[in-house]
Chain A
Amino acid sequence: MIKDITGRQAIVMMAIVMCATKFFILPSNLITNGHQSVIYVMLLFFVIEFLLLLVMVRVSMLHPDKTFYQLLTESVGVVIAKIVYLLFFCFFIIKLSINIIETYTFFLGTLYDELSSVLYVLPILLLAFYMTYIGLRSIGRSAELLWVFVFLGLAVTLIVAIPNADFGYMLPIFDGGANNAITILSNNSLWFGDYFVYLFFLGKIKFDKNYFPKFAIISGLVMLGIVFFMTLFYCIFPYISGIVHYGVSDITHITTHINNIGQLDWLNVTLWTFASIIQTVIFAYCAERCLSDLFNIKYKYLSSSISLIILVVVLMLLDFRLTKLIMFVQGPVHFLFPVLLVIALNIITVHFIVRHKEKRQKKLAGVIYD
């Protein structure tokens, strides 16, 4: 099995994917009605996600040469594996739609007065096609090169905004109960679950020394960073978060003196767009992998083209409008995430089934004795 990416590249890609589009409209969506309670619920939710991610990492290290598809087929059979892949394909297409429409709306509201949706989508589709065609190795290296600038921009934004936040607004914890917060979070669940992309890196990672602890620390920090961002956003805009839509740029609007030297938030926008594009490309790669394993398509350019065409159809159905997207994502398809979560929870079962079968085979071959 050719190892396309190093452990460090896998970590960097996961870090970017996990937080890229969580800083646009998601803060406003969650916090307007959920207030500080939703942040606490999100923290608990991230703990579960973190543990799940660590399980996935462990599985990948125990089966370093097997892809996710191979693991599934060996344990649950081809039919179920294909069903799972079909679900994941739908998931990634929806994630791509969220990413593209959200970033488009964000650009339209910040940097551009007018921006044709076709002109916006064409470069990103060409880029996604090109990068999925050349492969994961290039995506990993590009992410490895760009991550410093992306997180530097974010760090500057957060540091500059901290003095304007009153962290007292995080109290009391769970005012009015957690049910409302849980409902809001589940309605917006499709903004989460980005870590599923790790399943499609299985079998392609060349593990470094101390890979597991490094991964745990970085992904933990990223999740804490997301929670901190939400906290900061809420503590700066506790009562007006509903009318402040774009977290990552509005959070710098409130600093007084920066305005005199130019709009620093636009610089941050530019840096953050790299993260959004990398995330789009990774999702496109995962969608392409799903499709090619699903239908045994040999040629990458074919599976890539088909998945992008399906994406374009979905975008056209959603009319490139954010309101339609939110209704769609919070409506009929938001069950997809819990389903996939259950599937992911079963990875551990899959892993044990495969291990058990391997052990049995070795025992039969006389390698292991009772």
Chain B
Amino acid sequence: MYCFFYFPQNNTIRKDDLDKLTNKEIKSIFVDKFHNSTDFKVREFVSLQKFDSILFFFDNIVDVKRLDKEVIEKLMQDSQEVAVDDIVNYACRCCITVGQGEILDTVSDAVEKLLNGFCVLYFNKCGKFLCFDVKNFQSRSIAEPPTSAVLKGPREGFNESIATNIMLLRKRLKNSDLVISQMPVGKYSQTQVAIVYIDSIASDEVVNKVSKKIQEIDIDGIIDSFYIQKALEERSYSLFQQVGTAEKPDVIMSKLLEGRVAIIVDGSPIVLTVPYLLIEDLQSSNDYYFARAPRVTFLRLLRMFGILIAIYLPGIYVAVQVFHYKVLPYKFLVTITNATLGIPFTPLVEILFIILLFEGLTEASLRMPSYLGLALSIVGALILGDTAVNAGLVSSPAVMIVALTGVLLFTVPDQEAQLSILRLIFTLVGGILGLYGIICASVFLIAYLTNLDSYGTPFLAPYAPNVREDKKDGFRRYDLRAMKYRPKSIPNKNKIRLKKL
């Protein structure tokens, strides 16, 4: 049994001194501070059979049983003779058996601790507060995240509790170089945000930059890690994210080992990582846990083709119908012509209509109650797949193309939102300018992406600029034994990661 106690530095003592206030006065200060909140509890009792004590806590966020057993019971049952001036030290060092405790000098510090699940103890006219960590924040159990399912491999995922998330990382990285630097962010929410990195690997420049950006945040509340993400991005108005995200501790672990910095936000299961490369979204946990290198290469290329088909196919279809019928082979042309004969919409309108219909269906399916899901999905399939085509409102090639691209968007789920917008843009461009417009838009997109950087790392590395060594884990994945060095694209201190396998 021991307690951590922290004696604040002189320069952190606040101006509101305790000044030997009585229990009653302290009680009224706290009750006023918390505006008579009903979950704010006050327990008065006698400690060591002679000292009037008062205990403050929020009953919904503390472990009441622990409080009773390790604090109140200990104090009430102890009968040691202790001087008034020594009561605080005695209680902290010899009596109370809670693991983490602090001695505080100011009311504001005590308020902050109360809000973080501590209980605060005051002895009559002793002039100091004792606080102990008895927090008991309820959170979701550790489960596999729905968007990162694996066939073989770890299935643990982060949840909303920062403590749990840090625990999941600590148990995987048992090294003293793993640094976790936690700070509260948000005026009202005081959300705990932890910066995690491996000191001997991560670049100091990146770490300092991340810390600085987070410290500069001045906001009412942080609800999700997305808010931090926005603060970390250098171009927050861009369509493309410049900060990576992950929901699994094994993924974050591998990213930390490459030299990245992770940011965990209390209340969010999504952990952020910087620097970020676009190629990361093409990589999946499955690629590292059971599939062989040639299979992984095939899968990554498949994902890439899936993306290209998803964003280009509707635009090319419209462009070819409106401007470039010559491109299509004859039999294909006959099939499409026959299928679109009698359709009242022009090709661009038809495709946009179907895309919007599918997007609406996707959006509705996220929100509809599960017991209606089956019925509505049948309606959606029948209406779009069968009735609309038979009625001659839309053609079957168009429905097939939009459905196919809708499915292919999810080959890379993290980019689904961006790809969906791109699909729309290329469809519009294809309908307005044809293949030439699509080509110009593609070059524009490529130029835009090559201009993006994420904390000094080019977004499209290792392909633009070319970083030969990093291509071992790009579209083509080499065997694990070949990956001896950390990625050159990510700034890091220690280059070698594998000496012998």
Contacts and interface: CB of A to CB of B under 8 A. Distances in A.
Interface stretch (B80-88, B90-98, B463-471): B463-471
A137 B460 CA distance: 13
B323 A131 contact: no
A167 interface: no
Nearest to B436: A107
B329 A111 contact: no
Contacts of B435: 111, 270
A239 interface: no
Contacts of A111: 323-324, 326-327, 434-436
Interface string A284-308: 0000000000000000000000000
A112 B466 contact: no
Contacts of A262: 327-329, 332
Given A111-B323, A127-B443, A144 B437 contact: no
Given A145-B463, A263-B326, A273-B439, A138 B447 contact: yes
Contacts of B332: 262
Given A112-B434, A123-B433, A142-B446, A266 B466 contact: no
Nearest to B323: A112
Nearest to B441: A123
Contacts of B328: 262
A167 B269 CA distance: 68
B7 to A, nearest CB: 50
Contacts of A144: 463-466
A205 to B, nearest CB: 12
Nearest to A12: B466
**Most chain B CB neighbours (cut-off 10 Å) among A8, A111, A274:** A111
A273 B442 CA distance: 11
Interface string B304-343: 0000000000000000000110111100100000000000
A223 interface: no
Contact of B446 (A113, A146, A270): A146
Nearest to A145: B464
A145 B446 contact: yes
Interface string B428-468: 00000111110111111011001100000010100111100
A134 interface: yes
B464 A266 contact: no
A127 B450 contact: no
Given A123-B433, A273-B436, A9 B451 contact: no
B329 A134 contact: no
A277 interface: yes
**Most chain A CB neighbours (cut-off 10 Å) among B444, B458, B465:** B465
B327 A266 contact: yes
Nearest to A114: B323
Contacts of B444: 127, 130
A141 interface: yes
A266 B328 CA distance: 10
A120 interface: yes
Contact of B451 (A134, A261, A277): A134
Interface residues of B, number: 28
**Most chain A CB neighbours (cut-off 10 Å) among B327, B433, B436:** B436
A139 interface: yes
B327 to A, nearest CB: 5
Nearest to A208: B466
Contacts of A278: 443
B440 A127 contact: yes
A108 to B, nearest CB: 10
A110 B120 CA distance: 81
B134 to A, nearest CB: 55
A111 B430 CA distance: 13
Contact of B466 (A6, A135, A261): A6
B323 A277 contact: no
Contacts of A134: 447, 451
Contacts of A270: 435, 439
A134 B440 CA distance: 16
A83 B465 CA distance: 35
Nearest to A269: B435
A161 to B, nearest CB: 20
Contacts of A137: 450-451
Contact of B465 (A9, A146, A274, A277): A9
A124 interface: yes
Given A111-B326, A145-B450, A266-B324, A277 B466 contact: no
A12 B436 CA distance: 23
Given A138-B450, A144-B464, A146-B446, A124 B326 contact: no
Nearest to A135: B451
A119 B447 contact: no
Nearest to B444: A127
Given A123-B433, A141-B450, A141-B465, A274 B327 contact: no
Contact of A124 (B434, B440, B446, B458): B440
A115 B444 CA distance: 21
Contact of A123 (B327, B440, B450, B460): B440
Contacts of A120: 436
A270 B434 CA distance: 11
Contact of B447 (A107, A139, A263): A139
Closest 7 CB pairs of A and B: A141-B450, A262-B329, A141-B464, A123-B440, A145-B464, A138-B451, A138-B450
Given A112-B323, A127-B444, A270-B439, 13 more contacts: A8-B465, A9-B466, A112-B434, A113-B323, A120-B436, A123-B441, A134-B447, A140-B465, A141-B465, A142-B443, A142-B446, A145-B446, A277-B443
26 contacts: A8-B466, A9-B466, A111-B323, A111-B327, A111-B434, A112-B323, A112-B434, A112-B436, A120-B436, A123-B433, A123-B437, A127-B443, A127-B444, A127-B447, A130-B444, A130-B447, A134-B447, A139-B447, A141-B458, A141-B460, A142-B450, A144-B466, A145-B463, A262-B328, A270-B435, A273-B436
